Amino acid sequence: MKKFIFFKRKTSGSIARERLKILLLSDRMNFTSDITEKIQRDLIRCISKYLDVDEKGMQIRFEPPGKNQEADSSCIKATIPVRNMKQRR
């Protein structure tokens, strides 16, 4: 039975965590707005599975390290207006 542990699918949380790590590394490299838009679309697609969101009202900001953060970490701030929760199937 333990052999099935190796064949588990990745959870949406682990996929999102990987994307965020890539995002942070990319922020330090000053990536283009095209990449920012792609990340925003991915976030919308992921969150839209569970929530009805206002895509036009969504804002994502990438902030450099500041006084409220660790010296070497950047910050992603997202404002995502939620209209309603989707019904479970």
pLDDT for 78 equals: 85
- Identify the residue with better confidence: 89 or 54: 54
Are 24 and 77 contacting, i.e. CB atoms less than 8 angstroms apart? no
Please tell me the predicted confidence (pLDDT) of residue 27. 61
Residues in contact with 4: Cβ distance below 8 Å, sequence separation at least 6, in sequence order: none
In the chain, where the domains are located: 11-85
What is residue 82's three-state secondary structure? strand
Threshold 0.85, pTM exceeds: no
